[in-house]
Amino acid sequence: MLLLSANVSGHTVLAAGADGIVLRSTNDGADWHRARTPTQATLTRLARGAGTAEIVFAAGFDGTILRSADDGETWQILAQDARADNPYFGLIAAADGHVLAVGGFGRADASADFGAHWQHAGLPGNDDGNHLNDLAVNGHSWLLVGEAGFSLLSHDEGATWRKITMPVPGSLFGAVARNPGEFVAFGLRGHVVVSTDDAASWQVVESGLTSELLGATVLRNDTILLVGTRGGVVVLDPALQHAHAMPAAEHGSYADVVQTASGRILAVGDAGMTELTDLEAQQ
């Protein structure tokens, strides 16, 4: 089955993808069952409400946004429009109840009450209607990355935004935050860019890949693991200065990756769920 997003909290692991499927494990991915979801729309992103262990959001095609109040076991529809042709790709949820979902052709919708009510989020500088692909949160700073290198930065939790310039051409498909002030963004042709000064400046790190990078996670040893098409796996060192590509796997393409509480590294993609070798031990 096609899985596109994964999320971990404690020993609970969630994975979402085609046909509205959400898989749930409560023992670090050893056993799985299918959660109850009220949609067959493809789900592209999972996000957990910051500071709220039980609340999880999912978003995807058909303008679908779901919420779970029991750690991903059961879900309710917050928004859905089968006529919509611009799916959601990125999703974040802050501790104060603010939720932001972004997606195709510049779609951006926000909620201030954990998804009970939604309104259009007027993001600036996207007159071309570039796809908005992902969001990353680092304290009060929020980073948005998208098509054709389009990127926005907010230092006030999404209240105001400004356009920033990235040092690589082409689309950025994902972003991840690590320590305070540290962001990593990645995308087309294996591009990886890093910032250690709260997105004030960016440096290019050669990944060793020319294929697309789609997902990332911070491992327990502070390295950043990136995954993508053609079984691509890249490890970025804790100093955010050097990266190296691992031998390509034979499991198709990866869309996202997480590390469980027990240390297992699980990648999701067009082959479903794949456990990667313990890449921490190879650093």
Homologous superfamily (CATH) for 1-122: Kelch-type beta propeller (2.120.10.80)
Cβ-contact 178, 199 below 8 angstroms: no
Residue 62 has pLDDT above 60, yes or no: yes
Residue 132's nearest CA partner among 142, 141, 118 is: 142
CA 66/CA 37 separation, integer angstroms: 8
- Indicate the pLDDT class of residue 191, thresholds 50, 70 and 90: very high
Tokens 């991903």 found at: 72
- Per-residue pLDDT tens for 93-108? 987 889 999 999 999 9
Task: Indicate the pTM of the whole model.
Answer: 0.95
97 exposure class (CB count in 10 Å sphere: 0-12, 13-18, 19+):
middle
CA dihedral for 244, 246, 4, 67, sign (positive or negative): negative
- Per-residue pLDDT tens for 162-177? 999 999 999 999 999 9
Residue 227's nearest CA partner among 281, 173, 170, 179 is: 173
Domain boundaries, the chain: 1-122
Cβ-contact 186, 227 below 8 angstroms: no
Higher pLDDT, 176 or 280: 176
CA 223/CA 257 separation, integer angstroms: 13
CA 113/CA 34 separation, integer angstroms: 28
Least confident stretch, 24-28, 48-52, 256-260? 48-52
pLDDT at position 226: 98
